[in-house]
Structure 1
């Protein structure tokens, strides 16, 4: 990897939530058992069988993530097969250099928003409902949060993701939200909510880019 960008404090904060989603051990380190725990919780939540296309893609994408993390950790003198939060930040500081949209990321990362979308869209109707987002947050992201507080926060997140219900949260919209999570350097925009970073809520609106009449 050549070149890097300094992550803003907020980028580090929201990436910490993503790191926690990947099931680090009690010492805050990712290892092979982390991926096992991660896949187990995802497959239990989604009900995907091992032969399911989505399960296979989920495995392949996360194998790529962990392989890159472990390689970077070893390059910087870390223990083989283990990756710390510092390694996680280092990976992102390289990948985010000069990136303006999802097309600038490696293929495995470009697959991630679709994978997450299919995890959350449990009824398969090709749009995420407020209830589906809340269930995802409760079961997979912040299960320790009180139900009352989480419902309030997840509902606020859904409202930002959909412009207060003006647009359905379909894949096109969710991909934009995920891009905001990856690229945004400030708390503005709803991307931070995907992995439960609710602490920097903003009143500024986030407008989804809608297709023009000619594109429809």
Structure 2
């Protein structure tokens, strides 16, 4: 029997934000319409042409993601071609046990941080700046919030994600943060900020793993 873990309340809260990101219509069910609407929003946000490599990869990764979600939900007794919020939580409770980092997830999920990173990195300079993160929040995460709230949230998130500017928010760092989003059971760490979960404060700062200095050749 496949191992299962009970999600912590905070994990459920974080995953609810991700679910809402994937389900733009707000009806608490993922289906083919959700997938189409999500792609419309993403391509409208990024401006990617259909033949763009990034657009193709984004579509392929999300197609695989949705199809596997639907399959797993149906295996658990769900309706064909859909995944409810309860299905969503059940799927993650079976995927998370024993996972320590992104390499422990299926390949279709390992590709998701790269897709998200390329969406946010609008000038394609291999790092996310504060302005790019703010634009992502404004257009895809919290479009109903005031500019003042978005500025406050973005500053808080960017400071946490970069250890107050100590690190660049490049892909390696973003991948760690995405893993923290999926795996972390408590509010500690910056992963909660990816999809706009700003309701918890951590008393223990999260520090990115510092890379070893390059050795002299």
Question: TM-score range with shorter-chain normalisation?
Answer: over 0.9
Paired position in structure 1 for 2:134 = 134
Q: Taking structure 1 as reference, are residues 189 and 72 closer, same or farther at Cα in structure 2, changes over 3 Å only?
A: same
Q: TM-score, normalising length from structure 1?
A: 0.96
CA deviations 1:185-216 (Å, max 9, x no partner) are: 00000000000000012243211112112479
- SS of 1:192's partner is helix
Paired position in structure 1 for 2:77 = 77
Q: Taking structure 1 as reference, are residues 121 and 215 closer, same or farther at Cα in structure 2, changes over 3 Å only?
A: farther
- SS of 1:202's partner is coil
Paired position in structure 2 for 1:181 = 181
Question: Where do 4+ consecutive residues of structure 1 move more than 3 Å?
Answer: none
CA distance in 2, matches of 1:209, 1:215: 18
Write the mapping of 1:10-89 to structure 2, written as runs, cut at 5 A. Answer: 10-23=10-23, 25-89=25-89
Gaps of 5+ in 1: none
CA deviations 1:30-53 (Å, max 9, x no partner) are: 110000000000011101111111
CA deviations 1:102-132 (Å, max 9, x no partner) are: 1100111111111111111101111100111
Deviates most, 196-205 or 160-169: 196-205
> What is the number of equivalent residue pairs in this alignment?
216
CA distance in 1, matches of 2:215, 2:6: 37
CA contact (8 A) 1:24 1:31 kept: no
The Cα of 1:27 is off from its aligned counterpart by: 2.8
